[in-house]
Structure formats: C-alpha cells, structure tokens
Chains A and B, each alone.
Chain A
C-alpha cells in the first residue's frame, strides 16, 4: 500500500460516493413503487433512470468534447 494520498482523488468518498448514492436511490425507488402507486411510481422511474442518465452523461462527455471548437481552461 502506498502512503501519501493525492488530494480528493484517493479517498473512498471520491470512489464510492456516487455509487453509494445511486445504489441507495435505486433501493429506495424500488421500495417506493411497492408502497405507493402514484408518487412511488414516479420516484421509482426517477431512481431507475439515474444510473442510465449517468451512463449517458459520461459516455457523452468522453466522446463529445473533441468535436467542440474551443477548450476552456
């Protein structure tokens, strides 16, 4: 194990923060739809759409910037 963490990038929160939030939202959404037919359904749609939206967002980010004219720094 290497000592000396690089800032931000190396902490468990930077690695598992988003996955934990997505996982918790997924489980909450799945249970919500079981309990309520109206608002629970909408909550489940949003929660299950979240991982798909993240995939689309990061896939878009990885593929698109090269086509943009200017690079901001």
Chain B
C-alpha cells in the first residue's frame, strides 16, 4: 500500500470517526440499558401480571378484546385507543396504546398494560428512565430530523469501519495477530488495543450499525407503504361518513385470522391511525415460527361491518425493516445473547475511546507507527 493511499484512508478514518464519535458514544451508552429494558422494567415492578406471578394464568381463557378496550377507555377518560397488541414474549399481558386523537403523534402516546386473562389494568408499560434512554437513543428528542441525523451518523460509522479495516493492513502487517505491547509507549499500547478490539468486533459493529441506520428510516418507509397500499384502499372505499358504531373487536380479530390462516394477531390499528384508514381497522398478524414471528401480514377490515376489505404481503422494504430489528436489538437469543451484546457494546465504547485518544496523542506528535523503517 502506497504511503499516499494510507494517508487518504487515514484521513477518511479520522474524520468519519471524529464527526460521529460523540453520537456513537451516546448511542452505545444509552443502548446498554436498552438491551436489558425488559429486565430493568421488571426490577422496577413494571407490568407484573398478578395471575402470571401466582402461576395460575394457563387455566384461564383470554379476556375478550372488547372488554380490554372498554376497560382502557374507562381508565383513561378523554383518550382514544390507537392500538391494541399482543407481545409474543409476554403472553400474560395485552398492551393498549392510547392518545389524545387517533392521528396524534406517537411520542405523545401512553402505552398501558392490561392483564390478558382478567382484562384489568396493570400499569404503564415502561419506566420513565427507560423512556428517556429510548428517546435519546432513537431521536435525541428531535423527532424525524433527529432520527435521520443519527442514521447519517450510522453511515459515517460504516465509512469509519471500512477505512479502519483497510488501515488494519499497514498498521499490523509486521505483527503477529493480536499483538499487544503494554510495555511500550502509551500510544503504541493503545494503538495495539484499538486494532485488536476493533478488528475482532468489526462484523458485529457493522451489523448493528447498518441495521440501526435502516431503523432510522422506519417513518419514511411506513409513509411509503401507506401511500401505496392505504391510498389505494381509501380510493376504493365508498364515500360517506366513517362508521358511527364500530364493529366488535373480537369479530374483527376472528375475520382477520380467517383471512390469514395459521397466523396470530400482533396488533390492531384503530381507524384513523397511521396503520389503518379512517374507515378501516388494520389487523397485523404474525407467524408462530422464530423467523415468521418477525414478519407481519396486514389485513384491513371495514370499521362498521368488520368485513375483510384487503390483505396483501408487506413490501420488501418493510420486511427488511422487520428482519433488521432483532439484529439491532440483540433480543432474539435469550439472556446469554443479551449479555454478549452488552459486552460487545462495551468493547465498541473502548474502540471509540481509544480512537479518540490516538487522534489526540497524534496531534501532539505525528505518526510514529507509520514511519518507514530501513530494510
């Protein structure tokens, strides 16, 4: 590798890293508790279903969705239901998302958990602490521009990863793999550590970075799908006022299940919400196998009669979004995977920190590691 191309790659590596480092540190630090959000909220006593705790849930039949919806509206006067859903990992609870209006912004929504068998209110779905971590991680309290900005930082991270892998060659080609020289100067010791930690975790970091960047595009993707599918649905439905008396939720779920055999409901989107039309309920069903449970099949049903109006597969970009999510969250391999995810996150923090140190140290004394040695 020529010295000039090493300098060019080093320039890319330095600046793509420097610009994104602060935000990457924020993402790594807020992501750490988010890996364990379920456990942390559990310790804080959020969402414990008494029936499940007593081990008596399996015998009881699930509460009708209509009863849970009625309880939720009674518990939250002045609010409307946007979504009711069933988390595949939480068979004992049903989540209800309420907001000031059907089309009110998602950040204003309150997610409340209900007992799946008794239909009684259990409490908010997450602690205030996890909510702050989530907002800092997802959009830094800046809405869609914040998300897209973090997505751009994710792309800079990918540039830093690629240039880092290229630079790994000139920096380590005279060394055995994994050489650490703690006895040498502080700069050399940190450089060795930066190279080792970076190169062994590069595949993991690239996957988490890319899937995170994909997730920042979820809002535009859903908007695109809505324009394609829902726009056609609204155009096809007859004109007139929205249904005065909505159909029974249990009828709607039964019709949706019949339209998507072998699938179970993931969530119901109420008329007027972003995942439905003003005149239709949207029921999103999922499979029951590990991979198909990630994929959703939308069924749109007439809000007044509950008749199935339309069902078709999600477009490829929403399928890609849904499959990319577990690869970003690390929540699909049990507790050992979460612990490994957290340890790899800590390694990423060490790579960021050592990189920052190397940049700072190099500003004071230029490049000893790359000086040309006499043959």
B201 / chain A contacts, CB cutoff of 8 Å: 51
Question: Do A15 and B172 contact each other (CB < 8 Å), given the known contacts A33-B337, A55-B196?
Answer: yes
Q: Determine whether the beta carbon of A17 is less than 8 Å from that of B177.
A: yes
| Chain A residues with CB under 8 A of B332 | 33-34
Q: In the complex, what residues of A have CB within 8 A of residue B333's CB?
A: 33, 40-41, 44-45
3 smallest beta-carbon distances between A and B, as pairs: A62-B180, A58-B178, A23-B203
Say whether B375 faces chain A, with CB atoms less than 8 Å apart: yes
**15 further contact pairs, Cβ within 8 A, besides A18-B178, A23-B203:** A6-B174, A12-B169, A15-B177, A19-B165, A27-B203, A33-B332, A33-B337, A34-B290, A41-B334, A44-B333, A45-B337, A51-B344, A52-B347, A61-B180, A62-B179
Closest-by-CB residue of A relative to B206 is A23
Q: Which of B197-220 contact A (CB under 8 A)?
A: 197, 199-204, 207
B174 close to A22 (CB less than 8 A): no
User: Complex: how many Å from CA A18 to CA B326?
Assistant: 27
Question: Residues 1-28 of chain A: 1 if any B CB is under 8 Å from the residue's CB, otherwise 0?
Answer: 1101010011010111111001110110
How many B residues, CB 8 Å from partner? 42
Asked if B202 contacts A19 (CB within 8 A), the reply is yes
Interface size class for chain A? 35 or more
- B177 cross-chain contacts in A, Cβ below 8 A: 14-15, 17-19
Q: How far is the CB of A45 from chain B (nearest CB, A)?
A: 5
Enumerate chain B interface residues (CB-CB to A < 8 A): 1-2, 165, 168-169, 172-182, 196-197, 199-204, 207, 290-291, 294, 323, 326-327, 332-334, 336-337, 340-341, 343-344, 347, 375
Interface of B is mostly: helix
Residues in chain A near residue B200, CB distance under 8 A: 18-19, 22, 50-51, 54-55
The answer, yes or no, to whether A70 is at the interface (CB within 8 Å) is no
Do A22 and B203 form a contact, CB below 8 Å, given A17-B177, A33-B337?
yes
Contacts of B344 in A (CB 8 A): 48, 51-52
Min distance, Cβ B48 to any Cβ of chain A, angstroms: 25
Minimum Cβ distance to chain A for residue B340 (Å): 4
B186 to chain A, nearest CB (A): 14
Q: What CA separation (Å) do A33 and B340 show in the bound complex?
A: 13
Q: How far is the CA of A50 from the CA of B179 in the complex (A)?
A: 17
Per a CB cutoff under 8 Å, which of B168, B178, B294, B334 touches A54?
B178
Chain B residues whose CB sits within 8 angstroms of the CB of A52 once the complex forms: 340, 343-344, 347
Sampled A-B contacts (14; CB under 8 Å) = A9-B176, A14-B173, A15-B169, A15-B177, A26-B203, A26-B204, A27-B203, A34-B294, A34-B326, A34-B327, A40-B290, A44-B333, A55-B196, A58-B196
